[in-house]
Amino acid sequence: MSLDDFLAEWNNAADTVLVRTSGSTGAPKPMRVEKRRMEASARITCNFLGLKPGHIALLCLPLDYIAGKMMVVRALTCNLRLISIEPTGHPCLSIFENIDFAAMTPMQVYNSLQTNEERRRLESIRHLIIGGGAVNDRLAAELRGFPNNVWSTYGMTETLSHIALRRISGSGATDWYAPFNSVRVSLNGDGCLVIDAPEVCANTLVTNDIAEISSDGRFRIIGRRDNVICSGGIKIQIEEVERELAKHTDIPLIITKFPDERLGECVVLLTESPDTDTLRQICAEHLPRYWRPRHYLIVSKLPTTATGKPARAEAQRLAAEFLNQR
C-alpha cells in the first residue's frame, strides 16, 4: 500500500480502516479498526514521548501493517512533519535530516549498526521505538550506550500498535515494560497477559503471552503459550531457548517442535547454516540437558513473516516435512 492509498482510506467517510495481523502464528488475518481509537493511540504515544507539533517523524515501515499506519496517524493527529521513505533493511541510508521520532524493526536497527555512517544517523534519532519482533540481549546491549531515547514496544494489531514501552538506552534500561497510564494488565489462570486498554481496544484482550507482573504494575514477557514444548513432562518455552542461544552465537536459527514417541514432543532446531557441529557444541555447553535439540535441520531459508518475526506455524510444518521422511 502506498502513502497516497492510505491517506485516501483515512480521509474517506468510513469510521474504520482495514489492517492485517502480522501472521507470526499463522496466515495474516484482515480486521477493521476504528479511526477514533487509532487517533487515541497516537495521542497516548506522542504525549508519553513529549512530541510536539512540527517535530519530524520518519516513516520507514510498510503501510500494509498497523505499525506503518500508526506512524502516519501520529503525524496527522499530533501535527508532526512526516518524512516517508521506501521501507528497506537500511533506512538510515535515506536519513538526511534530524529525526525526532522513528519506528523500526529489530532487523532494520541491527543492519544500521553495521556501518559507522548508518550507526551515527541511528544515534541521532531523538526517540526510536523498536517493534515487530523481539529485541534480543545482544542488540539491547549495543543500544544501551545510545545518547538518545531507545524503546522496545509491546503490542499487537488488536491494540493498535503498542500499549507499553521499555527503555533500552541509558541508565533506565530495563527488561520490564511500563504500560501507559490508561492501560491495566493482569494475568489469567494460565499465566497469560490480559490487557485492559479501553481507549484503543473496546474489549479486554486475553493474549497468548506468558508474562510476569511486578508489584509496581510493570510486566515482562516469558514467551507465547502456544510456543511451549512439552517434552518428557517438562515445559520448555521456545523463546527462552532462542534467547539463551542468541547469547552465544550469531548463527540464525529457529526453535520448533516435533512429536516424539518417548517424550511426547521434542526440541528441533532449524538453521540455514551447514555448521551444525558448532550449534551442537553450543547447545551442549549452554543449554540444560532437557532443552537441547534432538534434531538439527538445515533449511534453505528460515521461515519468517512479512514483518520479520519467526513464522512459527511454518517452522513446525518444515520440521514435520523433514522428519516424517526419515
- Tens digit of pLDDT for each residue in 88-131? 999 999 998 999 999 999 889 999 999 999 999 999 999 999 99
pLDDT at residue 23, rounded to an integer: 59
The domain boundary residue, chosen from 179, 200, 218: 179
The residues pairing with 266 across neighbouring beta strands, listed in sequence order, are: 258
**Pair 135, 242 in one domain:** no
**Pair 116, 247 in one domain:** no
- Tens digit of pLDDT for each residue in 164-196? 999 999 999 999 999 999 999 999 999 999 999
Domain count, the chain: 2
**Pair 8, 152 in one domain:** yes
**Pair 62, 140 in one domain:** yes
- Tens digit of pLDDT for each residue in 10-61? 999 999 999 887 655 556 678 899 999 999 999 999 999 999 999 999 999 9
Percent of the chain with pLDDT over 90: 83
Given a cut of 60, whether residue 281 has pLDDT beyond it is: yes
Q: Which domain holds residue 254?
A: 232-323
Domain with residue 247: its CATH number is 3.30.300.30
**Pair 274, 154 in one domain:** no
Look at the block and give the residue holding cell 546491549: 141
- Tens digit of pLDDT for each residue in 194-236? 999 999 999 999 999 999 999 999 999 999 888 999 998 899 9
The Cα–Cα gap between 107 and 90 comes to 9
- Tens digit of pLDDT for each residue in 142-161? 999 999 999 999 998 899 99
Asked if residues 142 and 113 have their Cβ atoms less than 8 Å apart, the reply is yes
pLDDT at residue 26, rounded to an integer: 57
Closest-CA residue to 146 (of 178, 171, 117): 171
**Pair 135, 278 in one domain:** no
pLDDT at residue 27, rounded to an integer: 63
Alpha helices in the chain (DSSP H): 3-10, 35-49, 66-78, 106-112, 116-123, 137-143, 238-246, 276-286, 312-323
pLDDT at residue 138, rounded to an integer: 85
**Pair 243, 159 in one domain:** no
Q: pTM to 2 decimals?
A: 0.81
Distances (CA, A) of 51 to 45, 81, 100, 121, 308: 9, 11, 8, 20, 28
Distances (CA, A) of 287 to 24, 64, 284, 292: 25, 38, 6, 6
SS3 of residue 106 by DSSP: helix
The Cα–Cα gap between 3 and 33 comes to 18
Look at the block and give the residue holding cell 540444560: 288
